[in-house]
Amino acid sequence: MRIEDIQTIISAAFETADSIVGAREWTTAEDASAMHDIIFWDMLSRQLPDISVVDLLSILK
């Protein structure tokens, strides 16, 4: 898979997590941030199951 395709998936996962987390009120900013991270990484693991976290982090930089 090309890096551009992976970056598109990463951007879409980030935007989706933003939308989901932003759609409700959270008790604390930490709760919202933690849920954002869970949604983001869950979506990436489903869309990019054969790519390691290390590879994804290098693409994000």
Tokens 């090309």 belong to 2
Q: What's the pLDDT tens digit per position in 27-61?
A: 999 999 999 999 999 999 999 999 998 988 888 77
Q: What does the pLDDT read at residue 21?
A: 94
pTM of the model: 0.83
| Contact predicate 56/48, CB 8 Å | yes
**pLDDT-derived band of residue 8, with 50, 70 and 90 as boundaries?**
very high
User: What is the C-alpha separation between 59 and 53, in angstroms, rounded?
Assistant: 10
Q: Which of 1-11 are b and which e, b meaning 16 or more Cβ less than 10 Å from the residue's Cβ?
A: eeeeebeebbe
